[in-house]
């Protein structure tokens, strides 16, 4: 079973993700897609990529949110409907599996597909799609998974917010290095995708795999920049880094726990900031190349 994520965490990181994703790459994806694009969103979670990218596409479009967790897909539908209504868009549901968001730029159709992505692209309805997109997924997958995806796709592939492994918490602390090393080791453990996770090597591995299949590949930095006002995000982030580091360095657990407690206190007092390196990737198949 692939790793799953808590809806609360996904909601918390959504505004940080939205600021971080590289806008130019998203616009390049939009330009490569047809007039009424159909997108498969892999590991869609609560639908945050839809909420960010659909307005950039700004035309009639159809999305299939793919996730192993049916609860997250249901949460995504509720959140999409609520956010759409809050900005004055009419929302309708022609059936239990479909949501329509009626916007000035046309209807945005959203459906869900419950699927464990461990064997992807197997099981994906690629013949009914014009592009494959994902956020914060490809640093969890294995080298073999990426190779299968690159060889099995002849569609644009967009992967946002892949970790780069260079998280910095500010102000600096003497234990930062121990936490960072443990966290980087934890990022490459097996996460349910048939081999060690790519972690910080994800963007490089994807670029190589897609280029080998003749795709045009572009990458761009998309770092998280988290300011002192985002206290809960900073607390959760530093706590998550500490837990991951303790898994990999149990003998340093007491030192890491003290670091975590200090970082949480700094966050609460508005004295903590963080920069977490990510990168985005867009791979366009040969026929989209010119």
Percentage of residues in the chain with pLDDT exceeding 90? 93
CA-based torsion, 269, 171, 140, 125: positive or negative: positive
pLDDT surpasses 70 at 64: yes
Q: CATH number for the domain including 200?
A: 3.40.50.150
The owner of tokens 């700094």 is 266
Cα 94 to Cα 90: distance, rounded to the nearest angstrom: 13
Quick check: is 71 in a domain? yes
Quick check: is 50 in a domain? yes
Alpha helices in 105-216 (DSSP H): 143-152, 176-187, 202-212
Quick check: is 52 in a domain? yes
DSSP code at position 95? E
Mean pLDDT to the nearest integer, 85-93: 95
Give the containing element (helix H, strand E) for 226. Answer: strand 224-226
Mean pLDDT to the nearest integer, 195-215: 97
- Cross-strand pairs, 87: none
Residue-level pLDDT at 150:
97
In terms of Cα–Cα distance, which of 119, 274, 141 is closest to 199? 141
34-38, 136-140, 231-235, 286-290: which range is least confident on average? 286-290
Quick check: is 243 in a domain? no
Q: What are the two backbone dihedrals, phi and then psi, of residue 26, each rounded to the nearest 5 degrees?
A: -65, -40
Quick check: is 242 in a domain? no
Three-class SS of residue 108?
strand
In which domain, by residue range, is 92 found?
A: 7-166+195-225+277-288
pLDDT-derived band at 4 (thresholds 50, 70, 90) equals low
- Cross-strand pairs, 112: 65
pLDDT surpasses 80 at 288: no
Quick check: is 186 in a domain? no
Q: Which two tokens stand for residue 104?
A: 């000035």
Cα 89 to Cα 78: distance, rounded to the nearest angstrom: 14
Cα 289 to Cα 182: distance, rounded to the nearest angstrom: 40
Mean pLDDT to the nearest integer, 36-61: 97
Quick check: is 260 in a domain? no
pLDDT-derived band at 290 (thresholds 50, 70, 90) equals very low
Quick check: is 202 in a domain? yes
Residue-level pLDDT at 157:
98
Cα 85 to Cα 239: distance, rounded to the nearest angstrom: 34
Residue-level pLDDT at 207:
98
Structural domain count, the chain: 1
Give residue-wise pLDDT tens across range 144-191. Answer: 999 999 999 999 999 999 999 899 999 999 999 999 999 999 999 999
The half-sphere exposure of 99 on its side-chain side, counting CA atoms within 13 A, is 27
- Cross-strand pairs, 113: 66
Residue-level pLDDT at 3:
57
Give residue-wise pLDDT tens across range 6-47. Answer: 889 889 999 999 999 999 999 999 999 999 999 999 999 999
């Amino acid at each position: 079973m692939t790793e799953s994520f808590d809806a609360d965490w996904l909601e918390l990181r959504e505004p940080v993700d939205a600021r971080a994703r590289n806008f130019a790459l998203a616009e390049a994806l939009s330009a490569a897609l047809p007039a009424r694009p159909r997108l498969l969103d892999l590991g869609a979670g609560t639908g945050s990529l839809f909420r960010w990218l659909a307005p950039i596409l700004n035309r009639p479009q159809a999305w299939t949110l793919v996730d192993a967790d049916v609860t997250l897909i249901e949460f995504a539908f509720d959140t999409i409907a609520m956010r759409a209504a809050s900005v004055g868009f009419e929302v309708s549901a022609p059936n239990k599996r479909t949501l329509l968001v009626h916007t000035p730029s046309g209807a945005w159709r959203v459906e869900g597909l419950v699927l464990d992505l461990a064997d992807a692209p197997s099981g994906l309805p690629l013949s009914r799609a014009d592009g494959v997109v994902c956020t914060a997924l490809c640093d969890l997958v294995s080298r073999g998974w990426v190779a299968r995806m690159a060889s099995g796709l002849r569609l644009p592939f967009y992967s946002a917010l892949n970790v780069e492994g260079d998280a910095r918490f500010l102000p600096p602390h003497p234990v930062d290095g121990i936490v960072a090393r443990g966290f980087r080791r934890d990022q490459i453990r097996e996460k349910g995708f048939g081999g060690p996770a790519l972690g910080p090597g994800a963007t490089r591995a994807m670029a190589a795999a897609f280029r080998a299949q003749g795709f045009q590949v572009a990458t761009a930095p998309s770092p998280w920049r988290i300011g002192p006002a985002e206290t809960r995000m900073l607390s959760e982030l530093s706590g998550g880094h500490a837990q991951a580091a303790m898994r990999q360095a149990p003998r340093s657990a007491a030192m890491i726990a003290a670091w975590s407690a200090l970082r949480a206190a700094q966050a609460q007092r508005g004295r903590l900031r963080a920069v977490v390196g990510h990168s985005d990737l867009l791979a366009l198949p040969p026929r989209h190349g010119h």
